[in-house]
Structures are given as structure tokens and as C-alpha cells.
Chains A and B, each alone.
Chain A
Amino acid sequence: DAGITQSPRHKVTETGTPVTLRCHQTENHRYMYWYRQDPGHGLRLIHYSYGVKDTDKGEVSDGYSVSRSKTEDFLLTLESATSSQTSVYFCAISVEQGAGKNTFGSGTRLTVV
């Protein structure tokens, strides 16, 4: 399997606190993505990156920020967590943009109380 790990795997946090999720890859892939998955919705793109310090917004970027200071690491930050951000967060990597062959991490289950 591709080397992509997410941390933490589970987190419970309080409303209003900042939260950072980490995605780490060992594949040296250029493209990295953060998605959220909620019941009744497909995966929704939050932010993506096409290189170090090159990031762009996805469909549901409000309330989230990202950083990519190294090829292998892509961080997702919830500036001030809200209950609507309770979700499962997946990181994905790909060699080509939009090529569809995304490899996903195992996910982070985030609960905001």
C-alpha cells in the first residue's frame, strides 16, 4: 500500500478550540488533498495542494486552513472548531491532478462537542 498516514486517528475537541490534523506521505507525490465525508454526502474537497507552499481552496473551505511546508506533509487546521465540523476527514495523494487515482489515508474521526 502507498505510504500515507494520518494523525490523529480519532479526536474529540471542544467548540471554539483550534485543531490540526496531519497527513504524511512517503510517496513523493505532488498532489495532496483534504476531504471530509458526512452521511448522505459524497466526499467533499476542503483544500488541496499541488506543491510545497502551493495550495488552493476546494468546495467547502470555510473555517479551514492548510499548510504544506514539505512535500511529505499536508496539515489541515480548523481555526475555531464548530459542531458542524464533526466529520471523518480523509487525506489523499495523487501523481496527477484530477487523474482520479487518489490513494487515501485511513481517516481521522473528529468530534466537536
Chain B
Amino acid sequence: RKEVEQDPGPFNVPEGATVAFNCTYSNSASQSFFWYRQDCRKEPKLLMSVYSSGNEDGRFTAQLNRASQYISLLIRDSKLSDSATYLCAVSTMDSNYQLIWGAGTKLIIKP
């Protein structure tokens, strides 16, 4: 089992809809959690950190569920420009606090 897993998608979503996807992690001692966005043939860019209390930034909401060991990303009122691959990253003491990455979920917003 991979340490960090994501549904690769693609998620095909109409513009204006709400979409959510999850990222599961296997190490219960994981301490820090992040969502990154990666456009096609570009570098990843930090989208948001995920805190225990949840985190909201405009149309984006990230949540952490420690009991079930997953983080989620919800996008409301999706825009064409939201089309990208969303990567989750987790760090643990076991990995010497280096990030362990999921393979990404591809999101396609259709007009």
C-alpha cells in the first residue's frame, strides 16, 4: 500500500459545480498536510495547508480527518481555470519530516 494515495481521476465537472476529492495516508503519526496544484507541464504550487481545524481560502476548503486518516479538498463554484492536477503531501517524523506525495487527482472543468 502506498503511503499517500489519491484517486487519479479525471474528475470531469461542469463549470459552477462543487467538487471534492480526498487523499488518504497510511501513517497515523503524520503531522503536516498540504494541497498543491500542478498545471499541465508546470511545476507544483502550494495551494493551501491543512490544519486540524480545517482551512478555507475563498472557494477552497481543506479538511483533515485524523480518525479515518484522510484529507479532503472541496472546490465550490468551480471555474475553468481550476482545471489542474491536485497533489496532496504529508510529512511525518518517520520520513525525517520530508514530504511524501500522492500521485495527484486530475480535475477537468467543462464549460
Please report A residues at the B interface, Cβ cutoff 8 Å. Answer: 33, 40-45, 48, 56, 58, 90, 97-107
Shortest Cβ distance from residue B65 to the other chain A in the assembled complex, whole angstroms: 18
Residue of B nearest to A101 (CB): B46
Which bracket fits the contact residues of B?
A: 20 to 34
Could you say which residues of chain B place their CB within 8 Å of the CB of A101? 34, 46, 49
Question: Quick one: given A42-B4, A42-B87, A42-B104, are A98 and B42 in contact (CB under 8 Å)?
Answer: no
- Once the chains are docked, how many angstroms separate the CA of A35 from the CA of B46? 16
- 12 example contacts (A-B, Cβ-Cβ < 8 A) are as follows A33-B98, A42-B4, A42-B89, A98-B91, A98-B95, A98-B96, A98-B97, A100-B91, A102-B99, A105-B43, A106-B42, A107-B43
- Mark B76-91 against chain A: 1 for CB-CB distance below 8 A, else 0: 0000000000010101
Question: Quick one: given A42-B87, A43-B87, A58-B98, are A100 and B103 in contact (CB under 8 Å)?
Answer: no
Docked-complex contact B46 and A102, CB < 8 angstroms: yes
Could you say which residues of chain A place their CB within 8 Å of the CB of B101? 42-44
Shortest Cβ distance from residue B45 to the other chain A in the assembled complex, whole angstroms: 7
When the two chains form the complex, which single residue of B4, B32, B44, B87 contacts A99, counting CB atoms closer than 8 Å? B32
Could you say which residues of chain B place their CB within 8 Å of the CB of A43? 44, 87, 89, 99, 101
- Once the chains are docked, how many angstroms separate the CA of A100 from the CA of B49? 8
Could you say which residues of chain B place their CB within 8 Å of the CB of A105? 43
When the two chains form the complex, which single residue of A41, A42, A90, A98 contacts B98, counting CB atoms closer than 8 Å? A98
Residue of A nearest to B92 (CB): A98
Docked-complex contact A42 and B103, CB < 8 angstroms: yes
Docked-complex contact B103 and A97, CB < 8 angstroms: no
